[in-house]
Each structure stands twice: as C-alpha cells, then as structure tokens.
Amino acid sequence: MSGKRISMVEKSNNKRQRVNQVPKFSINDHHDVLVEILRRLDGPSLCSAACVCRLWSAVARNDSIWEELCFRQVSPRPSLSLRSVVSALGGYRCLYFLCIRPVLARLPKLRWTRDQLQLSLSLYCVHYYERLYVGAWLGDAPPSSLMFLRKPVNVV
C-alpha cells in the first residue's frame, strides 16, 4: 500500500473509534421527542407507527398526538373546553377511529372543516350515551348507532 493510502485508512480508523466513544442516540429513550415526531404524521402513517413495537404503540396512545391529527386542518382552532369534553367522552384516539376516519373516508372530496367536526362530535356523544345502556338491553351487544360508519364503503 502507498503511504497516502495508509494514512487515510488510519484516519478512518480513528474516526470510527471516535464515533464509538460517543453514546448512541436512541429515539426510544426520548419519549417526548417521539411524541413530537408522531404528532406531525398523518393518519395512515401514524397507525403504521403505532404498529412498530410495543413501546411505540404505548407512546402512540398519547391523546395529544391524535388531537393534533384531528384538528390539523381545522381553523380556527377549537377551544380548550373541547379537550375536556372529548377526553371525558373517551379521548381523541377513539374519536378518530370511530367517527373522524370513517366520515373522512366517505367524504373524500370535502375539506375537513368545523362542520364535519361538529357532526363527528355529535355522533361520538350519542355513542357514549348509548354505551351507558350496557346491560339494559334485550339483545346481547349494546346498541351502537355508529354501526353505519363501520360498514365497508363501496368505492366505485
């Protein structure tokens, strides 16, 4: 080997050693950073992220992530009182899965505005109310007026 080459190899070896000395940064150790990243994802990506591993799944249950997802396109931002109401009714994650995602799937052309949000909230509230009926019904399962949202959409 030529001299130049030997020195290059030595330099890279040194670099590697230097790198080995710096402690590795693992995103899994910094949940708040992870949350901040996940907050910026869109729906399908967020759902994929929640399937990566148990830790990410647990972190993805953080409701503020889903709140961001629900309200990203709505302007003006809804009031803080909304947060307490939605949390009481079951949280933003459930709201997203039960109401917002199916509604969006069926209204692809419409922008996500306050009107759709209001509709989703009304349906969510009715759903909560119906869950209070568990045990008081003739049938086996509690009634769910959101069943119509769960049906497959015929995308023609």
Partner 1 sequence: MKRDLHQFQGRLSNHGTSSSSSSKDKMMMVKKEEDGGNMDDELLAVLGYKVRSSEMAEVALKLEQLETMMGNVQEDGLSHLATDTVHYNPSELYSWLDNMLSDLNPPPPRSNGLDPILPSPEIGGFPASDYDLKAIPGNAIYHQNQFPAIDSSSSSNNQSKRLKSCSSPDSMVTSTSTATQIGGVIGTTVTTTTAAESTRSVILVDSQENGVRLVHALMACAEAIQQNNLTLAEALVKQIGCLAVSQAGAMRKVATYFAEALARRIYRLSPPQNQIDHSLSDTLQMHFYETCPYLKFAHFTANQAILEAFEGKKRVHVIDFSMNQGLQWPALMQALALREGGPPTFRLTGIGPPAPDNSDHLHDVGCRLAQLAEVIHVEFEYRGFVANSLADLDASMLELRPSETEAVAVNSVFELHKLLGRPGGIEKVLGVVKQIKPVIFTVVEQESNHNGPVFLDRFTESLHYYSTLFDSLEGVPSSQDKVMSEVYLGKQICNLVACEGPDRVERHETLSQWGNRFGSSGFAPANLGSNAFKQASMLLSVYNSGQGYRVEENNGCLMLGWHTRPLITTSAWKLSTAAH
Phi/psi region, residue 142 (left: phi>0; alpha: psi -120 to 50; beta: rest), is: beta
| Encoded tokens for 70 | 């629900």
In this structure, what DSSP letter does residue 14 have? H
Residues 108-127 touching partner 1, rule: CB under 8 A, are 110, 115-116, 118-119, 121-123, 125-126
Judged by CB under 8 A, the residue of 35, 41, 82, 94 near partner 1 is 82
Sign of CA dihedral 105, 106, 108, 114: negative
**Entry field: residues in the chain:** 156
For partner 1, which is the closer residue by CB, 38 or 78?
Answer: 78
Residue 74 is a binding residue for partner 1 (CB under 8 A): no
Judged by CB under 8 A, the residue of 53, 62, 79, 94 near partner 1 is 79
Asked if 104 and 65 touch (Cβ cutoff 8 Å), the reply is no
Residue 134 is a binding residue for partner 1 (CB under 8 A): no
Task: Name the site residues for partner 1 (rule: CB under 8 A).
Answer: 78-79, 81-82, 84-85, 88-89, 102-103, 106-107, 110, 115-116, 118-119, 121-123, 125-126, 128-130, 132-133, 136-139, 143-145, 147-149, 151, 153-154
